[in-house]
């Protein structure tokens, strides 16, 4: 078993544990608003998993990374998160891998566009 497979399995176990704990505990209770004039927070700021990230954070490179560094990081990340790698581990992990792959592909396409390179 390779190190990548072990990491994917551990990540899946962690995510599964987190999801089950949230389902069983119901998550944190929403505080009652006492001031009707206060504006509600946007959804993205409430859920850190849905917070938008910069392309370089998704690709795990510096903002001033070269095209070669971006390509290498893209290949490494796609090797880790490709949905075919976790197809046998369950639908939840496959869906997570598909979402992450789409995020990586979007960030890569944007980075290549910024550097004036056709992907």
For residue 79, what is the domain's CATH number? 1.10.287.110
Any idea what DSSP says for residue 51? Answer: S
Counted domains in the chain: 1
Domain residues for the domain of 89 are 53-114
Q: What is the largest CA-CA distance in the chain?
A: 57
Dump pLDDT digits (tens) for 18-47. 777 777 776 554 444 444 444 333 333 344
Structure tokens, 66? 């070269």
CB-based contact 50:43 (threshold 8 Å): yes
Residue 41 lies in a domain: no
pTM of the model: 0.55
Rg (CA), the chain: 18
Mean pLDDT of the chain: 77
Residue 22 lies in a domain: no
What is the pLDDT, as a whole number, of residue 24?
75
Tokens 């001031």 — which residue?
Answer: 35
């Amino acid at each position: 078993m390779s190190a990548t497979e072990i990491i994917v399995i551990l990540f899946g176990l962690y995510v599964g544990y987190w999801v089950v704990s949230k389902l069983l505990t119901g998550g944190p209770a929403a505080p009652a608003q006492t001031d009707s004039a206060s504006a509600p927070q946007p959804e993205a700021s409430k859920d850190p998993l849905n917070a938008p990230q910069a392309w370089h954070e998704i690709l795990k490179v510096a903002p001033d990374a070269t095209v070669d560094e971006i390509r290498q990081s893209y290949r490494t990340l796609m090797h880790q998160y490709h949905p075919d790698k976790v197809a046998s581990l369950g639908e939840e992990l496959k869906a997570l891998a598909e979402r992450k792959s789409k995020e990586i592909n979007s960030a890569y396409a944007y980075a290549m566009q910024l550097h004036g390179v056709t992907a």
